[in-house]
Structure 1
Amino acid sequence: MSKTVNITSPQQFSDLLKASKIVVANFFAESDVPSELVAPLYEQLSQAVSRPNLATFVKVNAQTQKDVASAYSVTTLPTFIVFRSGSAVDKVQGANPAKLGAIVKKLVSEIDNIDNAEPSGSASGSGSNWRGAPLPRGYSDITSQIEVRRSELLNVDSALGGVQVLFDGGKPSALSGGDGAAKDWIESDTDEQLMLFLPFHSMLKLHTLQITSLPPTNNDDDDDDEAPTRPRTIKLFSNKPHNLGFDEAEDMGATQVIELTENDWNMEGTANISLRYVKFQNINSLVLFVVNGEGDSEKVRLDRIRLIGEAGEKREMGKLEKIGDEPGE
């Protein structure tokens, strides 16, 4: 489903400029050959970059929305204009995929900076950029490089939080005295195995994986098979284009296998896992397979995941600029 918004009135366009921090507008005309040539690239950019109330991609038919086109001096089709806080800041005239890709590459960097300056609020209401363990010297928290919308969980209890809670910037409710109503964690469903696919915005150098798991401690009245527990064995697979099946992951050689013990978990319920750094250079995705959990429980619980390392060049832009590049560019 397209994320691009079709503008049907000047008022709608004006409202969007107020509601979204960044707006990218494609002024086009039907049956215009240059407009049609660049339309697939624009849709690809929209799918990759759009974010609610932050970055909105729109299409403006210059033939039916003449007032909007005139207001921004659109005389060539297609014309692409980037608006920030309601003001036009960049403009590309004509079907020039290389220039459009370069502008959106800069736009992605700006969006990442906004994300880092405004960490996501937590279900517990703390709104902080919480981590359960210190950062290794010389490395940064690069969790924001995860493409949350394309991430996928398999064998997860749908009654609890979705994949997005794992990357929430706030302190887990279990550490804040919460009553569990927030449901800001995930649990496995039919057995203790979980499969998590994480695609990235950038090529990453991954140094450390921080996993927080906070199963309830007062389980006296609970069946041991029903009470969730922490993961014990985890397999990591790098650079996979999609999620793996459980049978496939069982048989496939992993990039790294992790065996956790009780001593690996700190007072914040976080395991600070150092990775074989040489094996996690220039990766564009990670599959995390929880093979089993502690004890005899048939459920595994995850509260937070943090990726620590270095972020490199934007992966999507590397792909996009190959589409329609002019010779020599």
Structure 2
Amino acid sequence: MVGVKVIASDPDFQPELAAAGSRLAVVKFTMAGCRPCVRISPAFNALSNKYPQVVFLEVDVHVCQGTAAANNISATPTFLFFRNRVRVDQYQGADSAGLEEKIKQHTENDPGNSEDSDIPKGYLLITMAFNQPVKLYSMKLLSSDFAQAPKEVKVFINLPRSMGFDDAERSEATQSLELSEDDYKEDGLIPLRYVKFQNVQSVTLFIKSNQGDEETTKINYLTFIGTPVQATNMSDFKRVVGKKGESH
């Protein structure tokens, strides 16, 4: 897709993400009268032509209030990055160089960059970034077709850059999983090794195979269960004994 597609209404947003599929989708959240939004607009349009393998969408937070609220947009311009309808990263501000660097990070190892790329059967890579560090206990996966549901999964956390399939194959995972039918039951949760998921900023899942050895792996729903990491704010500490300047 070349050029920026403007989302006209809330119901149009999810179908556009679905149409992007495994390609990177960059969504610009903008607002009429926002000077930084206007300033970066020509660069955003130029990037859409420079990276034709990426889907570029634009959402006005006043026109699509439901979409803005669902994605917790609190400032404009905000750029959200999606793959397979899963949010993988974000960028705020009107620095076009910084925005392009983010796009490069997510596309340089993208197998979709090469028309001749040969992606092994069933392979899938998904990255999810969190707004703040979290502790994770478990995750839940759902697939409408069990034969296409993930089977062998490698879980990585806090990767410094986007990962390609070759990197995922040879890298040691934070945790490796082999999923069964029980994991996909309505009340099924996939436990994570809590001690290894104490300070998580992003999670990357590398799906190596699916249950039925199908050509395509399919995920309809993915979520993680955990709690935020509470950062210590030194200004919250109160002096209990002694006077200022005393040591103990």
Normalised by the length of structure 2, the TM-score is: 0.49
Question: Which is greater in Rg?
Answer: 1
Normalised by the length of structure 1, the TM-score is: 0.38
